[in-house]
Amino acid sequence: MKKVLAFDIDQTLNVAKTPINDEIAELLTRCLDHFEVCPISGQKFDQFLIQIVDRLPNPTPEELSRLHLFVAQGTQYYRFNPEKNDWEQVYNYPLTDEQVKKISETIETAARELNYWEEDKLKDGDEIIENRLSQVTFSALGQKAGTEEKYAWDPDMKKREKIVARCKELAPEFEYEIGGTTSINAITPGMNKVFGMTHMLEELNVKKEDILYFGDMTKPGGNDYPVVQMGIDTIAVRSHEDTAFALKGILGVIN
Ligand SMILES: [Mg+2]
């Protein structure tokens, strides 16, 4: 029996960048009674709270202590401290200022060359490139764009594939991964989900075969693919609805 359920967030637990729905919130809470539950995503810590933790219906401190937040693809790890009744950071591996600058300039140059730098479409105060400490993220329409608008921007990933190809020419020392609906994550080599999953194994003191991973980008080039390559059992989902279906099956077998 698996000990750990690990989840990508965007498109796996939610509609990209929005809070999880009631059904997923309830299913995850039930999972916490049987498994260690590990969301791992390129997003920042505050988004893990907004999109997942704050949505759980009345979790006990004991349940929360089995929830492990692998932030910024697991280059940061937070766990719940029941004594302090708060989250604590266990580790953090940030990029240097120089790396952030180089990546930001590279992506902007590539996107501008290809006419995919659409600053005019941004909402007030929004940004296309965001420093997420352990990675730099390009979000073509910013963070605040509507879901439909985002889905429509690059449904076949062709735009992002072109940007990535150009970035690899301009700054091959970094890795670029396509995620979510409009995003590209740039990282230093090895700082992808393999890094996060490897630390997960260590921190939770489990083996690869103890983990079941859920992701929507499990094909080559997608940000969940490195997990597949590691040999971790993976369930490929198209959306949170597939995830809910699978979780109901898992919980049904247990109860
Ligand atoms: Mg995803």
Residue whose tokens read 């099956």: 249
Residue whose tokens read 């049987």: 34
Distance 41 CA to ligand 1 centre (A): 8
pLDDT of residue 221: 85
Distance 239 CA to ligand 1 centre (A): 9
CA gap 245, 101 in Å, rounded: 42
pLDDT of residue 241: 98
Distance 129 CA to ligand 1 centre (A): 18
pLDDT of residue 220: 93
Residue 129 near residue 197, CB atoms below 8 Å:
no
pLDDT of residue 130: 93
Distance 83 CA to ligand 1 centre (A): 33
Which domains occur in the chain, in start order? 4-93+191-254 (3.40.50.1000), 97-187 (3.30.1240.20)
pLDDT of residue 42: 85
3-state SS assignment for residue 89: strand
pLDDT of residue 18: 94
Distance 84 CA to ligand 1 centre (A): 32
pLDDT of residue 132: 85
Side chain identity at residue 216, one-letter code: D
Distance 1 CA to ligand 1 centre (A): 25
Q: Across the 255 residues of the chain, what is the mean pLDDT of every consecutive 10-residue run?
A: 96 94 98 98 93 97 97 94 96 94 98 96 92 91 92 96 98 93 91 93 98 96 93 98 98 89
